[in-house]
Structure 1
Amino acid sequence: MSNILVVKANNRPDGVSTKMYETFVSEASQIDGLNLTTIDLFSENMPYFGQDTLNAFGKLQSGEEMTENEAASLAALNKSRELLSAADLVVFAFPLWNLTIPATLQTFIDYTYGAGYSFKYNEQGQLVSLMTDKKYIVLNARGGIYSTPEAAPTEMAVNYVNNVMSGIYGMQKIGEVIIEGHNANPAKAEEIIAAGLEEVKALVQKLFVLA
């Protein structure tokens, strides 16, 4: 059985990346042998990674009592890492907001981005990826057009996720669907979105080889 973790990072019911998430889950749930788990980041109690998280590490070692926020931060970190560790395939469904990813997705990445967990350094000080046995898929929506040579350098959502998951964690990307331009071209918005959702359905067919 292949374990698939779907990371949903959009709380807008009518959001395009929400529709991509729903399409993926609906199609993938029809494949026997796939174990689907979703973490809806906006529904999780995930304090921002920061001093409370570092305090929690120290108090865990010393046995000191944690504050409520420290305990919540440690619980979110543990849950994020447990889900990621159990996954064979990770599907990220997220929008481009203000040229980057939603804060909840950044927090999930902050909790899983750690030396000794997702990567390490060898004796020469070189980074070694520790998640080369995992695969991932990107499902992204952006209302503007960022695939042109002029706009591509300003896009810090898909680029960022790919740089971290592939470049740092060492996961293999097996698919990417990006729906873009539906806000820039409202007359063709429905057509653009529909075509993108069909791409998501086609991508799911690749999962048959994982089942």
Structure 2
Amino acid sequence: MTNVLVVKANNRPDGVSTKMYETFIAEVANNEGLNVTTFDVFEENMPYFGQELFNAFGKAQAGEELSAIQEGSLAAFNKSREALTAADVVVFAFPLWNLTIPAALQSFIDYTYGAGYSFKYNEQGQLVSLMTDKKYIVLNARGGIYSTPQANASEMSVNYINAVIGGVYGMEKIDEVIIEGHASNPAGAEQIIADGLEKVKAAAQNLAKVTA
């Protein structure tokens, strides 16, 4: 049984990346060899990563009472890492908002990005990835066209996820589906989205082959 963690990072019911998430979930439901769970970063309502978490570590170690935000930060830290640790494959379904990822997804990254957990430094001070046994899939939607050489450098959602999950954590990317241009081309939006969702179905079907 392969454990698949789907990180859902769009709380808009009509969002294109929400449709990508729903399409993927519906397709993988047909495979009994996959144990699929969703980590909805908006539903988790995680406090922003910061000093409150470090204060929580100190207080918990000293047996002191934690404030509500400290309890929330510690719970978010533990839950996000437990979910990531248990996963064999991680699927990120997220939009490009304001050239980057949603803040709620950033919180998930912040809680799982840590020396000794997702990476370490060797004796030479070089970064060593600690999640090379895991795989990941990118499902992303963006209204404009960012796949051109001129625009790609300003795109900081897919580029960022690949840099962190693939580059730092060391996971192997096995698929990437990007739906783009539906906002800048309203006349062709329906077809653009439909074609993209077919690619999402194919990614879900391919997952079964990769993990078999």
| Structure 2 residue 20 is matched with structure 1 residue 20 | yes
Partner of 1:198: 198
Aligned to 1:90, the other structure's residue is in SS state strand
In the TM superposition, what whole-angstrom CA distance separates every residue of 1:116-154 from its partner, at most 9, and x where no partner exists? 000011111111100000000000000000011110000
- Give 1:109 deviation, angstroms: 0.1
Aligned partner of 2:96 in structure 1 is 96
SS in 1 for 2:153: helix
Which residue does 1:129 correspond to in 2? Answer: 129
What is the total number of aligned residue pairs between the two structures? 211
Runs of 4+ more than 3 Å apart: none
Unpaired runs of at least 5, structure 2: none
Shift of the alpha carbon at 1:88?
Answer: 0.1
Q: Is 1:168 the equivalent of 2:168?
A: yes
Equivalent residues in 2 for 1:2-81, closer than 5 Å: 2-81=2-81
Q: Distance in 2 between matches of 1:102 and 1:181?
A: 19
Distance 1:40 1:109 in 2: 13
* Residues in 2 aligned to 1:25 and 1:97: alpha-carbon distance in whole angstroms: 23
TM-score under structure 1 length normalisation: 0.99
Give the partner amino acid of 2:199.
Answer: E
Output one character per residue of 1:86-105: Cα deviation in whole Å (capped at 9) or x when no partner.
Answer: 00000000000000000000
- How far apart in 2 are the matches of 1:109 and 1:185? 32
Partner SS state of residue 5, structure 1: strand
RMSD over aligned CA atoms reads 0.7
Show CA shifts across 1:26-83 (max 9, x none): 0001111100000111111300001111111111221111101001000011000000
Provide the residue aligned with 2:141 in structure 1: 141
Deviates more, 1:119-128 or 1:137-146: 119-128
Please give the alpha-carbon distance, in whole angstroms, between the structure 2 residues aligned to 1:119 and 1:40. Answer: 24
Please state whether the residue corresponding to 2:149 is helix, strand or coil. Answer: coil
Give percent identity, aligned residues only: 74
Measured after TM superposition, the shift of residue 207 of structure 1 is 1.7
Q: Structure 1 counterpart of 2:119, which letter?
A: F
Unaligned runs of 5+ in 1: none
> Given residue 17 of structure 1, which amino acid in structure 2 is its aligned partner?
S
Report whether the alignment pairs 1:184 with 2:178: no
When normalised by structure 2's length, the TM-score is 0.98
